[in-house]
Structure 1
Amino acid sequence: MPDIRAVVFDMDGTILNTEMLYPKVSAEILRRRGLALSQDLTDAMMGRPAPVAFQVMIDWHDLADSIEILERESEEIFADILEVSLGLMPGFTELFKALLQAKYPLAVCTSASRNMAVELLGRFNITPDLQFVIGGDEVQHGKPHPEIYLAAASRLALSPQQIVVFEDSETGCKAAIDAGTHAIAVPGDHSKKHSFIGAQMIADTLHDPRIYELLIPTRPV
């Protein structure tokens, strides 16, 4: 039985349904330029820090726009979408409550900027129960590099092997695996075709009974 002492969540597509919203933003950006968003481009951008993701879009379609222009435009589009479409992923509320009751230290590591993450998580009153949030703008190397999860382990004063990480994408899961954490993949409709080789578990959703068996074995499910 692994010696699990803390739990770290990715945000986009793991806690919040934002991974399903970002393609709408990308599609609108490209539509304004007479272009269409493909699934291959969506997959190539998913889970990466915004500057990296937008550089992928620029290279993919040979756009003349700068990263800064695309970021500003996306923020305006995203703000409108958030007001009507932002929500929590299935099973998160129940699992988060159970982990709090079990006294696990909890944290979030996201490719989004820290300010954006705090703002979005704050809408659901999640941040007060977190030890910390690490944003993609606070590390030198974004996911799939393991830096962000190694930084989390350092802040928690634990070895990576003592930390469970929940990730929804191939990019994020690779970061968790390469950091040496106990990586649990939770694919959504947006990432079911991703590769999660090396993950300790591939869960159906955050409702998956195997998650509770691992982290809260005395809890009836």
Structure 2
Amino acid sequence: MPELKAVVFDMDGTILNTEMLYPQVSTEILRRRGHSLTKELTDAMMGRPAPKAFKVMIDWHDLADSIETLHQESEEIFGDILETSLGLMPGFTELFKSILEAKYPVAVCTSAQRDTAIDLLGRFNITPELQFVIGGDNVEHGKPHPEIYLTAADRLGLSPGEIVVFEDSQTGCKAAIDAGTYAIAVPGDHSREHAFDGAQFVADSLHDRRIYEQLDLRLPT
């Protein structure tokens, strides 16, 4: 196993509870059009950049709307939900603190647009501690393509195998695995049934002791 020298987090469903909020947005969008959101559609959209996720929704229900229309509508609905429901995933605060204390460089690679990610992470004062944030709009090929994690490795000046990546979804984990990173799956209630073949291990949560052991981190007291 190569020496692990940096940490990269996915954002939605890994740092923030947004993967639990997005279905509320999709449910409302589809309700307005006489449709219901299924788990199968949620899984098909999860982890993908917004344009591709909305394309999946459009094709799934043969909607007449454009991607741009759905994106604008979702931003309005999501803004209302964020004010009351946005939060951090269990274990992130303690793990992030231990990672920073150990002097690991930390970055975020997300399918969300970079400006959106900067805004959401900034609400919890996370952004100042990061080396950089790469959004889905900063790469040509979104997850599950490995480009975003190969780009992160290049910016960190490291080989992919020297980077630990935390991902909550099958789509994101595939991107991390195919990039050659040390990928750890951290599914939430929204993604526990996903397949994480190729991940180093599937953590119970960000509290999982194995994470601390692999990174030689101080356990929270």
Normalization by structure 2: what TM-score?
0.98
Residue deviations 1:128-180 (CA, integer Å, cap 9, x gap): 00000000000000000000000000000000000000000000000000000
Match of 2:127 in 1: 127
* In the alignment, structure 1 residue 44 sits paired with structure 2 residue 58: no
Match of 1:20 in 2: 20
Match of 1:76 in 2: 76
Question: What SS does the corresponding residue of 1:22 show, helix, strand or coil?
Answer: helix
CA distance in 2, matches of 1:201, 1:96: 19
Unaligned runs of 5+ in 2: none
CA distance in 2, matches of 1:220, 1:23: 34
Equivalent pairs counted in the alignment come to 220
Match of 2:112 in 1: 112
CA distance in 2, matches of 1:190, 1:37: 14
Show the 5 A alignment for 1:59-208: 59-208=59-208
* In the alignment, structure 1 residue 209 sits paired with structure 2 residue 206: no
| Cα 1:220/1:58, change in 2 over 3 Å | closer
Following superposition, the deviation at residue 201 of structure 1 comes to 1.3
Question: What SS does the corresponding residue of 1:184 show, helix, strand or coil?
Answer: strand
In structure 2, give the amino acid aligned to 1:167.
E
Q: RMSD across aligned C-alpha pairs, in angstroms?
A: 0.8
CA distance in 1, matches of 2:92, 2:216: 15
Tell me if structure 1 keeps the 8 A contact 2:98–2:219.
no
Question: What SS does the corresponding residue of 1:43 show, helix, strand or coil?
Answer: helix
Normalization by structure 1: what TM-score?
0.98
Match of 2:33 in 1: 33
Residue deviations 1:168-202 (CA, integer Å, cap 9, x gap): 00000000000000000000000000000000111
Question: What SS does the corresponding residue of 2:73 show, helix, strand or coil?
Answer: helix
In structure 2, give the amino acid aligned to 1:179.
A
Match of 1:6 in 2: 6
Which runs of 4 or more aligned residues in structure 1 lie more than 2 Å from their structure 2 counterparts after TM superposition? none
Tell me if structure 1 keeps the 8 A contact 2:177–2:199.
yes
State, as a whole percentage, how many aligned pairs show the same letter.
78
Following superposition, the deviation at residue 50 of structure 1 comes to 0.1
CA distance in 1, matches of 2:216, 2:117: 27
Unaligned runs of 5+ in 1: none
Match of 1:56 in 2: 56
In structure 2, give the amino acid aligned to 1:45.
M
